[in-house]
Amino acid sequence: MEKPTVGIYGLTGCAGDQLVILNCEDELLDIAGALDIKFFPMAMTGNDEECPLDIVFVEGSVVQPKEVEMLKKLRERAKLLIAIGTCAVWGGVQAMKNEIPRDEMKRKVYGPEGKVFDVISAQPLSNFVKVDLAISGCPIEKEQLLHAVASLLHGDLPRLPTYAVCTECKMAEYPCLLLEKGQLCMGPLTVAGCKARCPSYGQPCRGCRGPVEEANAASEAKLLKEKGFTWLDIQNRLRTFAASADSLKIESIKEGTNA
């Protein structure tokens, strides 16, 4: 069987998801043996920027017009385009400031020199191209990546969790930080896959994996308000990783909570 040709690309982000791939250590040689990796500049030289690709993994969000062009070209070259990491899937932390006019932000951050940067609001890949599979996480979980690679080698797309972090938290029988300790935990709204890592250390979930399907943010916001959190506390937490997600859009949630 011919090995699938693969490219691993990064747009704007911290490169943490590419590092997860490199950190696969015990499995890395098997991955390299099973895939024909054509482009992975973080790990190799002699990258091929033109060849057709069976699978392209793309990390990071789109924040520059030149990244839009690059992404569209990748889409044309690839049979399957896979978004890896919360930035690629939801826009990530850089989408928090999208409502501030770009020119004003550039001036504040870079002074008059900011004019040289050509940027747009931070957006997920799916705003520009068809995404065949989204693996969220900040960064992605190694187990989900390996599961995805194994499924792709069999010609399938992997089945990823569609339930919330709370489900993993309850299954592990961790005490509920929201209900028992009144902490601002995003577990009810966040897609599972991390085995409720933060609650396992007594820390509330910050929502780094992005929203679960049909996340009921208005209901959680109402509960948090009853527990004494301000609207600003709630808003800031909801917006940290997935400000562009419709289910977390601030105005609709505010209406739902009668704020």
208 binds ligand SF4 (CB under 6 A): yes
Q: Binder to ligand SF4 among 209, 239, 243, 248 (CB under 6 A)?
A: 209
| Two tokens, residue 114 | 């900011």
Among 11, 188, 189, 242, binds ligand SF4 (CB under 6 A): 188
Residues 92-121, interacting with ligand SF4 (CB under 6 A): none
Query: Which stretch, 70-78, 100-108, 148-156, 193-201, contacts ligand SF4 (CB under 6 A)?
Result: 193-201
Q: Is position 234 an interface residue for ligand SF4 (rule: CB under 6 A)?
A: no
197 sits near ligand SF4 (criterion: CB under 6 A): yes
Q: Which long-range contacts (CB under 8 A, 24 or more apart) does 101-110 make?
A: none
| Distance from C-alpha of 165 to C-alpha of 169, rounded to nearest angstrom | 6
User: In angstroms, rounded to a whole number, what is the distance separating the alpha carbons of residues 67 and 12?
Assistant: 8
For ligand SF4, the binding residue among 135, 205, 212, 234 (CB under 6 A) is 205
Rounded Cα distance between 143 and 118, Å, is 37
Q: According to CB under 6 A, which one of 75, 206, 222, 249 is a site residue for ligand SF4?
A: 206
Q: How far is CA 52 from CA 56, 77, 115, 217, 240, in A?
A: 10, 5, 36, 41, 36
176 binds ligand SF4 (CB under 6 A): yes
Considering only CA atoms, give the Rg of the chain: 19
Q: How far is the CB of 139 from ligand SF4 (least distance, A)?
A: 10
Which of residues 11 and 140 has its CB atom nearest to ligand SF4 in the complex?
Answer: 140
User: Which of 78, 145, 185, 243 contacts ligand SF4 by CB under 6 A?
Assistant: 185
Q: Which two tokens stand for residue 204?
A: 């509330």
166 lines the binding site for ligand SF4 (CB under 6 A): yes
Question: From CA 201, how far away is CA 224, in angstroms rounded?
Answer: 21
Kindly list the strands in the beta sheet with 78-84, ordered across the sheet, starting from the edge strand earlier in the chain. 36-39, 5-10, 53-59, 78-84, 133-135
**Binding of ligand SF4 at residue 165 (CB under 6 A)?**
yes
Residues that bind ligand SF4 (CB under 6 A): 165-166, 169-170, 174, 176-178, 185, 187-188, 190, 194, 196-199, 204-209
